[in-house]
Structure formats: C-alpha cells, structure tokens
Amino acid sequence: MTAVAVREPGTPAVFGRAAAAEWLRLRTVRTTWWCLLAAAVTIVGIGVIMAYDADDVYATGELPPATAAGEFGVMLGQFALLVLVLLAVTQEYASGAITPTLQWTPRRGLLLAARLTVPVLAATAAGVLLALTADITAWLIADLPFSPGDVADSLGRVAAVLLAGGALAVGVGLLLRSTAGALATVFLLQLVLPFLLPAFGVQWMADLGELLPGTGAIWMLLGEPDMTAGQATALLVGWAALAVGLGGASLLRRDAG
Amino acid sequence: MIEVRGLTKRYGAVTAVDDLTFDVAPGKVTGFLGPNGAGKSTTMRMILGLDRPTSGSALVGGRPFPRLAEPLRAAGALLDAGAVHPGRSGRDHLRVAARTHGIPLRRVDEVIDQVGLGPAARRRVKGYSLGMRQRLGIATALIGDPAVLLFDEPMNGLDLDGVRWIRRLVRGLADEGRTVLLSSHLMSEMEQTADHLVIIGRGRLIADASFQEVMRGQGSGRKVRVRTPSTDQLAGALLRRGAVVHPSGDGELLVEGVTAEVVGDVALEEAVAVHRLAEEHSSLEQIYLDLTGDSVQYRVAGAPELVAQR
Ligand SMILES: Nc1ncnc2c1ncn2[C@@H]1O[C@H](COP(=O)(O)OP(=O)(O)O)[C@@H](O)[C@H]1O
Ligand SMILES: [Mg+2]
C-alpha cells in the first residue's frame, strides 16, 4: 500500500458529511417510519375529529378557526415526533452503535451539531406538514374558517414547539443515555407535569408548573395559561438550551458509552 | 504506526491501564496479549479517542485520532462486533460509514464482497450470527482503506474456519504494509499470526518484543521433572541448593533453577530413588502463563504452592 497525501476537508465539509450520515441513519431504521405514522394518525386524526365536533358548534354560531385542528393535533402528536428524535440519540447507547459513530465522527462537537440539526429539523418539518394537512382537512370537511395569515402564524408556533421540544429531547437523551429514562423525563416535563401540577389546586405547585417547558408549549398551541409570548418563548428556549448544554457537555466530556 | 505514551486510565479505585508505552510498527501483525481484564480493550478505546485517558496520549499515524477529519482513512477498528443498530441492514450500516467520509457506494459493495457477507448484507443486523457481525465489523474497519487497523479479540467465539479466515486477512493486511494491532487473551491465537507481541497484565506492560524473542527469553527457564518416593527429602535437599521446587502431584516435583544433572547428583548424595527424570521445555501457553502469572487477578483456588520457603 502506498500512502497518498490527501488534503483534508475543512470543518464545514465534515459537518455536511456528518449531517448527511445522520439523515441516512434516520431513514434506515423502521422506528422513524413508525413514529411518523403515529404522528400522522394523531395530528391529522385529531384534526378530523375536531372538524366533525365543530359541526355541533354550528348551532351556537361559534366556530373555531381551522388552525385549531393542527394545534390540538400537535399538542398530542408531538410525542411521536419527540420519540423519533429521542431514539436517534438513545438507541445508539442501547445498541452500542455510539462506538462506531464516534469512530467515524470523532470530533464530538460536530457530531452534536449534526445530531441536533438533522433529527430535530426532520421532526419539525414533518410536524408542520402534518399540522397543515390537519388544518386543510378541517377546512375542507367541516368548513372551518381558514385564512392564510392564521395558518402561517399557527404553523410558526407549531414549529417553535417542535424545535424546542426536539432540542430538549436530544439534550436529555445525551445526558441520560437511557431510552426509558429520557422518555419519562421528556414526557413529564413536556406534558404530564404542566397539566397535573395546577390540577392539585395548591398554589406553589401551580407556580412550579408554570416554570416547565411544557407550559410554554401549551401556551404556544392552546393559548393557555395566562402569560406573555415572551415568557412562553423564554421557557421553550431556556429549557432547550439547558438540556442541550448539559447533554452536549456529557457527549463532549464523558467516555463514549 | 501507533504510538502509545504513558497511557493511563483509572475508573475510581481501579487502574485499568497503568502508564503504558509502546509502538506498533507498520508491515507487521502485533499481537496485543493479556488475560481478561488486563486493559486491552480500554487501551484500544483510548487510542481511538472513545475513552478519555486519565493521563498519557496516543497517536495514530502521528496525530491524535479524535482530531482527524477523515478518521476512517487513518485507522479502522473492530472493537465490539455487537455494537451495531440491530434494526439497520449491514449494507446501510456501511453506507452510513461511507457517507461520513464521502466514500462512494461502490466501495461499500467492494468491502461487502471482500469479507464475504454477500446477500446477507441487505438483511437487518438483528438476525446476524456472531461470525456475520464480525465480518460486518471488519468490512467497516476496511472501508476507508486505512493504514492502521485495530481488532479487539476478533477470533473470540469463531469456529475454526472463521479463525483461519481472520489469520489470512490480518497477514494479508500486514503484508500490504499496514499497521495491525490484534488483541487476544489466548497465546494460542497468536501462534501463526503475530510477528510481534505486546503483553500486558493488570494494565502494565510485561513484554514488548518479537514473537521469537518472547519464546527464547522464557525458554532459558527450563524445568526438570523428577519422580521419587521421597519427595520431601529430595525437595529439601534441592531447596538448599538454591532450586525452586513445585510439587506436581503423584510423587513428582517440578524443579526450576538447576539442571537435570544437578537433580540426579543431589538424589545420589541423598540416596533417594529416582523413578523418572526429564527436562521440560515450556509450551507457548506456559510461557504466557509464566509471564502474566503475577498479573492474573483471580487465581484458581488450590493452585500449587512452593513445597517450602527458602
Ligand atoms: N467503564 C468501566 N468502568 C469501570 N471499570 C471498567 C470499565 N471498563 C473497564 N473497566 C475495568 O478495567 C479493567 C480493564 O478492562 P478491559 O480493558 O476491558 O480489559 P481486557 O480488554 O484486557 O479484558 C477491568 O478490570 C475492567 O473491569
Ligand atoms: Mg477486552
């Protein structure tokens, strides 16, 4: 064998390859497709049910906008998409596949960037498309009011929820490395506790609930509870940044797995 | 070329790798030998930047592996054949590897052929036998046509055909001028395979020499086996002559440090009957056990003790 001096690609090229590999990883496992199917059924399915329910509301004359379909759908269906993102991270620790992954992309900062970008963007794009499908379904079937301006605004909020939730899932996955542990944590932070804590009627519990990322997501999608857009955004961004910070540090500093 | 310098890894109170320094030269198969738990896997993982050394460093082709933009072109490794996503096909696993380096798809099919994975490559890894996983792991190691290869216990669990195949493969890779580091906990796997041996025990370097040197170095410590009805009397007399004496059951003694002539003479002086007297040459396995004996962490209970302390 002869050694040939090859010029090494620069950082942007290495990132591009890592991202392309990440995309291929996502496409070549069945769990991704199962999660997408579950998301489609939940988001569009809820949208259609909303649309039929709206028929009852006809009598009162009070019609929700078509965008409510996508928003309700994403409120529940986001979990299928977050599972997709989470498994892209934790499955590698469960199977040991993180070892070859880090041999192929040993620059861990680049791996973190690719792993944050590709699955999160894929899940967000899928969620936005599905929400749009739900909106259009509700409009066509139930004749709910549909305005392009509303839809654009609504899809923006859907995207924000999924971007932040996806980043939270990646961070928690990298930090805990266990599918069950990370799934439980994301589920609690994003859905269970924000709904459960205020339900006890104890003030400090309700206050605590208002500090969770899921509360920001609920506000974005359902307009509840009473808070400003700034506060909701701060919750989403703050928790996502915290999770990515801790999870990223774990990837960069700890042994491979 | 792999350069390991003062490499150390501690897990809490356990020192898995203890100040290791050695080089692995190109064009040879270097056997990396040591009992289970000696620190072989940990060393290889540190060379590849998977585990962070407590101290020390390792260079692959003159550079730290974790900084490389195209690491698969510098070094390929088979560490744990099971460490693959079970739901992905073998070919897709290789495609992901190729994509991280801009390696064309043609090369994926080339290495699939080279390791003889064949049509199984399109099946999901979940259904692979250990042998097929090893082949997939080796295909992954070869995909970037690297100058350095690391194989961690690649023969473990393989049948004879598999072992022969690995032997031919590593020999061929070394003959092409590549650097090959091949770990094992069995000396027998190194026979007919390794040109050079790096032997470790409890994380420390025990030997770093050619296969022949290791054989010769230990060959001088020949032993004498003697059978006598008066073991205690003969053992006492031999101990006074400075020999090391091990009982070996059935009225036999294994004597180190003196020649067969001396044992015979001592027996005559003591007027002890000798029913058998023979020099023993160490087997390959024996040399290895002698070298690593002190380093084995868990001894078999009831191992022979010295007859008497000097
Ligand atoms: N992640 C870990 N945490 C704690 N101890 C470990 C870890 N990995 C390895 N060890 C310990 O380090 C020592 C060396 O292990 P290893 O490198 O696997 O040895 P070998 O490959 O030679 O059998 C063993 O005592 C093992 O128990
Ligand atoms: Mg090992």
Residue to probe by mutation, ligand 1, list B10, B14, B79, B156, most atoms within 8 Å of CB = B14
According to the per-residue pLDDT averaged within each range, which of A138-152, B93-107, B233-247, B282-296 is highest? B93-107
d(CA A27, CA A30): 8
First to last CA, chain B: 46
B17 alpha carbon – ligand 1 mean position (Å): 9
Q: Model confidence over B1-22: pLDDT tens digits?
A: 999 999 999 999 999 999 999 9
Selected residue with higher pLDDT from A57 and A64: A64
Looking at residues B182-205, what average pLDDT do you find? 90
Domain-by-domain residue ranges, chain A? 12-253
Q: Which region holds residue A83: left if phi is over 0, alpha if psi is between -120 and 50, else beta?
A: alpha
Helices first, then strands: H and E counts in chain A: 11, 0
Q: Work out the mean pLDDT of chain A and round it to a whole number.
A: 91
φ and ψ at B26, to 5 degrees?
A: -70, 160
* Tokens matching residue A247: 């999870």
Q: Which atom of ligand 1 is nearest to the CA of B297?
A: 25
Buried b / exposed e over B188-224, threshold 16 CB at 10 Å, is: ebbeebbbbbbbbbbbbbbbbeebeebeeebeeebbb
DSSP-assigned beta bridge partners for residue B197: B31, B209
Closest CA to A158 of A234, A73, A228, A224: A73
Can you give the pLDDT at residue B308? Answer: 28
| Paired residues of B134 in beta bridges | none
SS3 A256: coil
Host H or E run for residue B206:
strand B204-210
pLDDT at A7: 74
Complete domains list, chain B, with CATH: 2-211 (3.40.50.300), 222-281 (3.30.70.100)
Contact A14 B71 (CB under 8 A): no
- Dist CA A234 CA B70 (whole Å): 39
Section A156-170 average pLDDT: 97
Inform me whether the C-beta atom of residue A96 falls under 8 Å from chain B C-beta atoms: yes
- Give B281's pLDDT tier (boundaries 50, 70, 90): low
pLDDT at residue A227, as a whole number:
87
Quote the ligand 1 centre to B39 CA distance (angstroms): 6
Q: Which residue from A254, A80, A84 is spatially nearest to A176, judged by alpha carbons?
A: A254
Which residues, other chains included, contact B249 with Cβ-Cβ below 8 Å and sequence gap of 6+? none
Tell which wins on pLDDT, B187 or A15.
A15
Say if residue B219's pLDDT is above 80: no
For the cut 70, the answer to whether the pLDDT of residue B257 exceeds it is yes
Work out the average pLDDT over B113-139: 94
Secondary structure of residue A130 in the 3-state scheme: helix
Q: Say what the pLDDT of residue B303 is.
A: 34
The answer to whether residue B49 scores a pLDDT higher than 70 is yes
Angle between helices A148-176 and A229-253 (to 10 degrees): 30
pLDDT band at B302 (very low <50, low <70, confident <90, very high): very low
Which residues have a Cβ under 8 Å from the Cβ of B306 and sit 6 or more positions away? B244, B245, B246
Nearest CA to ligand 1 atom 16: B39
Choice among A20-34, A48-62, A114-128, B18-32 with the minimum mean pLDDT: A48-62
- Which residue of B73, B92, B100 is in closest CB contact with A28? B92
Residue A48 pLDDT more than 90?
no
SS (H, E, C) B88-134: CEHHHHHHHHHHCCCCCHHHHHHHHHHCCCHHHHHCEHHHCCHHHHH
| DSSP codes, A69-101 | HHHHHHHHHHHHHHHHHHHHHHHHHHHSTHHHH
Give the ligand 1 atom nearest the CA of B203.
14
Rounded average pLDDT over A154-173: 97
Average pLDDT over every residue of B170-176: 97
What's the pLDDT at B273? 93
Contact B92 A24 (CB under 8 A): yes
Q: A104–B178: do the CB atoms touch at under 8 Å? A: no
Distance from CA of A87 to the nearest CA of B (A): 11
Nearest to B77 among A103, A108, A254 (CB): A103
For A64, which DSSP code?
A: P
Closest CA to A251 of A173, A178, A182, A165: A173
Percent of chain B with pLDDT over 70: 89
3-state secondary structure of B259: coil
Mean pLDDT value of segment A149-156? 92
pLDDT reported for residue B249: 77
* Cβ–Cβ below 8 Å for B73 and A20: no
Does residue B108 carry a pLDDT above 90?
Answer: yes
CB contact under 8 A, B85 and A21: no
Distance CA B187, CA B199 (A): 10
Percentage of residues of chain B with pLDDT beyond 90: 65
Average pLDDT, chain B: 88
Residues 6+ apart with CB under 8 A from B299: none
Phi then psi for residue B63, to 5 deg, are -135, 155
Dist. CA A174–CA A168, nearest whole Å: 10
Exposure letters A220-230 (e unless 16+ CB within 10 A, then b): bbeeeeebeee
Q: Which residues line ligand 1 (CB under 6 A)?
A: B 11, 14, 16, 34, 36-42
Residue nearest atom 14 in ligand 1 by C-alpha distance? B39
Span A111-137, mean pLDDT? 96
Asked if A109 has any chain B CB less than 8 Å from its own CB, the reply is: no
Give the tens place of pLDDT for each residue, A103-118.
Answer: 999 999 999 999 999 9
Task: Using the predicted structure, report yes or no on whether residue B218 has a pLDDT greater than 70.
Answer: no
Give per-residue pLDDT as tens, B72-91. Answer: 999 999 999 889 999 999 99
